[in-house]
Structure 1
């Protein structure tokens, strides 16, 4: 099994809705050698006629790990309850591609690992982002639902294209 001697990002597949629990166990068991994140996104949802901001997981069922993967660590991770598997192919543990990391870092480069709400406006058929984590990523926006305050964004994650909904405030151009 090929394991990296360099610090890389890896992905754990865990039981859905157990991401935070698994992250806490990993932080306690494995400690400071690794960084664990469960990326979240902020959305607006309507409940009882009022808009509320809520946090939802960006990739349900996944925990991202940054560190050096060796045989000892691999088997330590496998023992943690709630972890289904460390993503791998037949030969090696898979790392998150640098191109994918670039976009993820733009979106979640903050202490809370949360993707906030972006502000945008439409001009003819073009979308312009004025502030927030989606600035500069207009090309990846597939669809905007102004009524729900959400944008469908195409992200590459583990070499697969995924469409995720992110929160947006749609404003009229001044």
Structure 2
């Protein structure tokens, strides 16, 4: 059933994000709905601020003040549970209809990390498994795990052409 869970955005009074998150967590436990409401996030970022006295200090601040992200299975029960929490003004969406975030939006927010295990190294021969160059062979030139990118040099029309792909679009060729 957890496969049906999607990420939604809850609008709260500004400054109430942590209180809303705590209240939802408590209500979920009290009503035995932890199989329906799976996860909540308040996206934070660390920034360096310079105080009036010129001292630099690192501060955590909310990326989206007034919003809480929640991964849940949307039913009438879960909708009412969230809407009746003090400090919640509603879901982001149309009228009374909560609209889930797309996979791309969730990935861009960095809320859910999908770890990809890279089984190849620079210099390895790989086969492209996805995209317009699927089934082409090439040599790994550079791996950037942070950006989920790999640069592969492919021979096309007698020329060496570097191609940037996602890490999971290639697989190592066994010698």
Q: Into which bin does the TM-score normalised by the smaller protein fall?
A: 0.5 to 0.7
Rg: which structure is higher? 2
Match of 1:75 in 2: 80
Is 1:50 the counterpart of 2:55 in the alignment? yes
Matched, 1:103 2:108: yes
Return the alpha-carbon distance in structure 2 between the equivalents of residues 79 and 103 of structure 1.
29
Unmatched runs of 5 consecutive residues or more in structure 2: 114-143, 149-175
Structure 1 consecutive aligned stretches of length 4 or more whose deviation exceeds 3 Å: none
CA distance in 2, matches of 1:96, 1:21: 23
Tell me the distance in 2 between the aligned counterparts of 1:30 and 1:37.
15
Normalising by structure 2, we get a TM-score of 0.56
Name 1:26's counterpart in structure 2.
Answer: 24
Normalised by the length of structure 1, the TM-score is: 0.56
Say whether 1:92 aligns with 2:100.
no
1:12–1:86 CA contact under 8 A, matched in 2: yes
Cα distance, 1:136 vs structure 2: 3.2
Give me the whole-angstrom Cα distance separating, in 2, the residues matched to 1:136 and 1:71: 38
**Against the structure 1 CA distance between its residues 108 and 101, is the aligned structure 2 distance closer, same or farther, given a 3 Å change threshold?**
closer
Query: Which residue is equivalent to 1:39?
Result: 43
Paired residues in the alignment total 109
**1:104 positional shift:** 1.6
Report deviation, 1:90. Answer: 4.4
1:136 corresponds to: 147
C-alpha RMSD over aligned residues: 2.5
Structure-2 separation of matches of 1:44 and 1:28: 33
CA contact (8 A) 2:106 2:112 kept: no
Q: Is the 8 A contact 2:49 2:57 kept in 1?
A: yes
SS at match of 1:12: strand
Give 1:89 shift.
1.3
Quick check: 1:39–1:108 contact (8 Å CA) kept in 2? Answer: no
